[in-house]
Amino acid sequence: MYDLSTLETCNPSCPARAESRCRGSWSPSRAIPCGSRRRHVGRVHARNPRVQLLITHRLAVRVGPHSGPLLAWRSRPAVKLRQGESVEEPSTDAEKQLADVGSGNDNIEILISYALWIQWGDIAIEREDRARTARADMIALARYRQEYTPALGEELMASMVSISAAAHALDALYGQLVTPGIKAEIKAEGPWRKASRDGHIRECLKRRFNTGGRDRAWVGEFKWLFDLRNAAAHAEEQQLPSVPHPSGVCNSGQVNRDYSADAAMRAVDLMLDVLNTCAAKPKASDVGARQWARSYSPAISTLTTKLRVSRTARPLPARYEDTEA
């Protein structure tokens, strides 16, 4: 864990500097006057008097717009951050230390950011698991001639959340990866206001990752997923004929067919296919994409493993008529 309480600034009049305990470089244009509330280490020098520290979901400490080495910690004095570099520390104790430093130092600003596609991905997988469980309950209840309607409703609700969360995850991924330049390129290629959201997401990913043939396969899948997400978010009441439910237990409303455990699995498969493709194939010319792939590959691997474990432990049951045959 990094000892963030030793973060400090200095100038030529600092006693520690006179005693040769301050080993940082200094120039009048880069100096920040020392504050009496801070323990001096003499390791921080900034052109801008606000050193920006960014905490992500795994506590990433990132240097703001400065030139030259800026930060070091007594526990690891060799660690220095330059502009655009970061150090990640998953400890909540470290996050607390960072917050304490920021609250006691006017030259430090704590900025908190979350890559919410991770949370949405986790929700999608968890709700898919619940939809499969509800399907198994419904088939078991039907087999023993018990009332299965509550399980049918449970599958619907869990699937709606899973499908929507998978779309939200891809939407949040776009929000993290898109740049003003990419937005301008997409806008220049077609009517910006008429383009679909799923189209914007795929165009953004194409520019930063070698999606290749996967993108062609995603065209229809993206449209299917975002049409379902939008239909759930902006629902309209319609009188539609009943249709066979994918479980084989009964006929049901069209909405039960659209938002089923099968559809939830399809949505989650698409989400993880996109994430794993991006993690494996960043464009060599895109430094930011390569850094993103390195930073977030562990999170994507965690989501992928969670899904595999869930489906192994609670697989989607066979159709009702197949089990009765």
Where are the domains positioned within the chain? 1-113, 117-324
DSSP string covering 215-230: HHHHHHHHHHHHHHHH
61: left (phi over 0), alpha (psi -120 to 50) or beta: beta
Quote the pLDDT of residue 75: 33
Quote the pLDDT of residue 323: 59
Low-confidence residues of the chain: pLDDT under 50? 1-12, 14-91, 102, 106, 193, 325
Residues linked to residue 61 through DSSP beta bridges, in sequence order: 87
Please name the residue that has the structure tokens 């704590």.
110
Kindly give, in sequence order, each residue whose CB lies less than 8 Å from that of residue 279, ignoring residues fewer than 6 positions away: 293, 296, 297, 300
Select from 216, 195, 203, 199 the least CA-distant residue to 177.
203
Dihedral sign computed on CA atoms, order 180, 185, 186, 191: positive
Quote the pLDDT of residue 220: 95
Quote the pLDDT of residue 127: 98
Distance CA 34, CA 38 (A): 8
Quote the pLDDT of residue 184: 86
Tell me if 243 sits within 8 A of 252, measured CB to CB.
Answer: yes
Quote the pLDDT of residue 236: 87
Angle at 186 between CA 180 and CA 187, to 5 degrees: 85
74: which DSSP letter? T
Quote the pLDDT of residue 186: 80
Distance CA 285, CA 147 (A): 59
Quote the pLDDT of residue 96: 54
